[in-house]
């Protein structure tokens, strides 16, 4: 019963704000992860000194980093596959084949071009994070056309 209550009242707020929290520093994401861990301890009855990973696995709750990368991958999929998306968003994501004339595995698999970034602040930007999340997916997952099928094909 507690699991259903937390999934109904806590997780929608976390997922709704992922677009804002995705670019946050690791310290800020750690605070959100602590909230998820606390909810898992309440549901499973785990003590504070016990490791939280078994409880999260038992409940099927992902870590905040996984939620952010899944959300970013879904946004990239929508930009690349759904008609009617703004051209400005599509311009953020360029395939490797459009950047280089050489035929490589990356250009044949539909890998997106990842710009060089030195600063951690730049790497926390959506345009960089989303390309990393997209390129980390398998080629079969990237090839899925519909949004619903893409969500179910994402690794958990």
Q: pLDDT, tens digit, for every residue of 38-49?
A: 999 999 999 999
Residue written as token pair 């016990």: 50
d(CA 54, CA 113): 37
DSSP 84: T
Query: What is the pLDDT of the chain when averaged over all its residues?
Result: 88
* 95, β-bridge pairs: 112
Query: Which tokens in the block code for residue 144?
Result: 């899925």
Output 123 or 108, whichever has higher pLDDT. Answer: 123
What residues does 112 pair with on adjacent strands? 95
Q: Which range is most confident: 4-8, 100-104, 116-120? A: 4-8
């Amino acid at each position: 019963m507690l699991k259903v209550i937390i999934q109904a009242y806590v997780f929608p707020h976390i997922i709704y704000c992922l677009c804002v929290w995705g670019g946050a520093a690791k310290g800020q994401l750690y605070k959100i992860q602590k909230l998820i861990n606390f909810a898992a301890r309440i549901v499973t009855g785990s003590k504070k000194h016990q490791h939280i990973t078994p409880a999260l696995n038992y409940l099927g709750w992902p870590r905040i980093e996984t939620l952010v990368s899944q959300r970013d991958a879904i946004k990239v999929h929508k930009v690349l596959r759904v008609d009617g998306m703004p051209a400005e968003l599509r311009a953020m994501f360029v395939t490797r084949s459009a950047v280089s004339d050489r035929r490589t595995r990356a250009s044949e698999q539909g890998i997106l071009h990842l710009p060089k970034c030195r600063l951690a602040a730049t790497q926390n930007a959506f345009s960089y994070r989303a390309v990393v999340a997209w390129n980390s997916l398998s080629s079969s997952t990237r090839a899925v056309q519909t949004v619903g099928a893409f969500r179910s094909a994402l690794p958990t």
